[in-house]
């Protein structure tokens, strides 16, 4: 539903609308809609995201397109967007492989490097009232980053910019997830990033049996929309988890076991210590990546159960609503949509910074 905002000093009704570039499965769209913003369309070239996006965000159209090939006037012609609209929000949360500290295929990473500048094209053409950007912190520090060029562009267009590296755990998301966040406006008004919470949400605050997540084994398949589904484990990995201390344990518990120790870590106890680790029960989770269903890719094991976290548990840690349905045919595809998403709760709070001020 579109937001209807009535300033105290007059009766002017404002309807905010947005285009969500690089929308994926709809994390940002979901949050903005919760803030009352009419997300007209989401744009992404990942065909796996289309059904999930549109199923959960009725009324927001998924545009399956490569931004490099999308014409500036596309939204003008197909969605009746107008240029210089004070109430238009353009969102550009581009893929971050190039700027991420996580290893990614070099060709794919280079393809993501300049996507922010492609987004800039549409900001230049439509001159929206607001611009939102979210990315990994590396977009600031990488020596080849295009961020300075984008910021100079915003300055030349007379946008007021607020930006900061934040941790999602401070904004209602039960997860350690550091991200670069930017809000910009060309209007004469105060803008800011959301205020931090006084307390953080933890794994135990939203997951576990008492929160509706029954104990399940590795390899469990849940065919319902709840998707409490987990990846299977090799026998050797079952043995590794059985020896890993509950509630935050690491692979250090079996580093001296010749049967279980991994060759690549012999003599390298301090390398990638989170790999095969368990999450902490009374802390926010580790960063949810696209591989959170696999214990060999990070600290993704359940605090007490001998398995990786499930698809639904990963979605909850990303702050997706319980009713959000991931319309995919594989665990890997669902995890990709979840791990790549902007946490909806943070997106909601950012949206409210626009609509409530």
Please give the torsion angle defined by the CA atoms of residues 143, 149, 151 and 156, in that order, rounded to the nearest 10 degrees. Answer: 160
- Nearest by Cα to 162 from 126, 117, 194: 194
DSSP structure class, residue 21: E
Catalytic residue among 23, 96, 204, 206: 96
Residue 189 CA to residue 39 CA, distance in Å, equals 22
DSSP structure class, residue 343: P
CB 57 within 8 A of CB 344: no
Annotated catalytic residue 204? no
Query: Using alpha carbons only, what angle is made at residue 209 by residues 208 and 214, rounded to the nearest 5 degrees?
Result: 105
The CA-atom distances, in angstroms, between 282 and each of 189, 200, 202 are 40, 10, 6
178-185 and 38-44: which strand pairing? unpaired
Neighbours of 354 (CB within 10 A): 26
Provide the annotated active-site residues.
Answer: 96
């Amino acid at each position: 539903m579109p937001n209807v905002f009535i300033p105290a000093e007059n009766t002017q009704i404002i309807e905010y609308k947005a285009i969500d570039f690089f929308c994926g499965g709809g994390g940002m769209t979901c949050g903005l809609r919760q803030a009352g913003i009419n997300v007209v369309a989401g744009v992404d070239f990942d065909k796996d995201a289309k059904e999930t996006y549109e199923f959960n965000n009725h009324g927001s159209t998924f545009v399956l397109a490569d931004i490099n090939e999308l014409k500036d006037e596309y939204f003008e012609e197909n969605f009746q967007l107008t240029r210089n609209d004070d109430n238009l929000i353009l969102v550009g949360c581009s893929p971050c492989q190039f700027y991420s500290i996580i290893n990614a295929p070099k060709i794919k990473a280079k393809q993501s490097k300049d996507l922010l500048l492609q987004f800039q094209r549409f900001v230049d053409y439509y001159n929206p009232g607001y611009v939102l950007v979210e990315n990994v912190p590396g977009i600031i520090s990488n020596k080849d980053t295009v961020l300075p060029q984008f910021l100079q562009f915003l300055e030349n267009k007379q946008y007021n910019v607020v930006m900061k590296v934040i941790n999602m755990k401070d904004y209602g998301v039960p997860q350690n997830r550091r991200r670069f966040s930017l809000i910009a406006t060309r209007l004469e008004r105060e803008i800011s990033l959301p205020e931090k919470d006084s307390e953080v949400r933890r794994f135990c605050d939203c997951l576990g049996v008492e929160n509706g997540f029954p104990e399940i084994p590795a390899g469990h398949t849940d065919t319902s929309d709840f998707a409490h589904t987990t990846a299977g484990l090799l026998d050797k990995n079952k043995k590794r988890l059985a020896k890993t201390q509950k509630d935050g344990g690491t692979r250090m518990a079996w580093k001296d076991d010749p049967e279980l120790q991994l060759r690549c870590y012999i003599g390298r106890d301090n390398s990638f210590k989170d790999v095969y680790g368990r999450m902490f029960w009374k802390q926010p989770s580790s960063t949810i990546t696209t591989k959170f269903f696999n214990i060999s890719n990070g600290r993704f094991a359940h605090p007490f159960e001998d398995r990786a976290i499930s698809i639904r548990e990963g979605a909850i840690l990303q702050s997706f609503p319980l009713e959000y349905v991931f319309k995919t045919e594989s665990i890997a595809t669902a995890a990709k949509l979840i791990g790549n998403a902007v946490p909806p709760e943070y997106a909601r709070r950012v949206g409210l910074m626009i609509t409530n001020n």
